[in-house]
Amino acid sequence: MAELEQKQAGGKKGKKKGRKKMSTRIDLTPMVDLGFLLVTFFMLTTTFSKPQTMEINLPVKPKGEVKEEDQNSLKASKAFNIILGKDNKVFWYLGLANEPIEGPIETNFSAEGIRKVLQEKNASIKDMVVLIKPTNDAIYKNVVDILDEMNISNIKRYALVDIAKEELDLIKNIN
């Protein structure tokens, strides 16, 4: 049992006759029990937040000798490009950057914007690959938002790639 004792003051010289002082005894056991009960109560009543993460599959290095051209080949008919610009602007076009580009078309991050376009194109183009190309002016939030849109639109194949100079020039001409 925990207790706190106080000794009497004074020695032989300053001793008073008559009354004896009793030592004060404080039992701290109930306070310790109360402390543990409070800690237990708050631990059990708080909600634990689970981290929200997105699973990302990294490419596996192929065994043997594989040409880089074969590995990175993509048909222009299956390529869907998304360019993330400054001021929360989103541009998209079909095809590859090394071919003549029609567009790009400007849209936004709303449900009627890029999400609707992604769902329509995913339904019409079999095995579509989305190429996400953030510019240097794009903010991190836009990249996270577009990755969320990939998940919402149930698009399985997408990649973050560098933007070509031709695409940057097209965006500058639109603005």
Q: What is the DSSP letter of 91?
A: E
The encoded tokens of residue 142 equal: 């836009």
The domain at 75-174 falls in which architecture?
2-Layer Sandwich (3.30)
Considering the chain, what percentage of its residues have pLDDT values greater than 90? 8
Residue given tokens 């400007």 in the structure block: 106
Give the closest residue to 105 by CA, choosing from 126, 88, 83, 79.
Answer: 83
Q: Give the model's pLDDT for residue 100.
A: 61
pLDDT tens sequence across 57-106: 676 776 766 555 554 566 767 888 898 988 888 988 887 766 666 678 88
- How far is residue 24's CA from residue 26's CA, in Å, rounded to a whole number? 7
Q: Give the model's pLDDT for residue 18.
A: 66
92 vs 1, which has greater pLDDT?
Answer: 92
- What's the length of the chain? 175
Which of 53-57, 70-74, 158-162 is modeled with the greatest confidence? 158-162
* Banded pLDDT at 114 (limits 50, 70, 90): confident
CA distances 1 to 15, 28, 45, 81, 167, Å, are 31, 8, 30, 73, 78
Q: Give the model's pLDDT for residue 157.
A: 86
Is residue 68 within 8 A of residue 84, CB to CB? The reply is no
Is residue 155 within 8 A of residue 131, CB to CB? The reply is no
Residue 150: which H helix or E strand, with range?
helix 140-152
As a whole number of Å, the end-to-end CA separation of the chain is 78
Q: Pick the range with the lowest mean pLDDT from 57-66, 83-92, 135-144, 157-166.
A: 57-66
Domain limits of the chain?
Answer: 75-174
The answer to whether the predicted template modeling score (pTM) of the entire model surpasses 0.75 is: no
Phi, psi of 68 (to 5 degrees): -65, -30
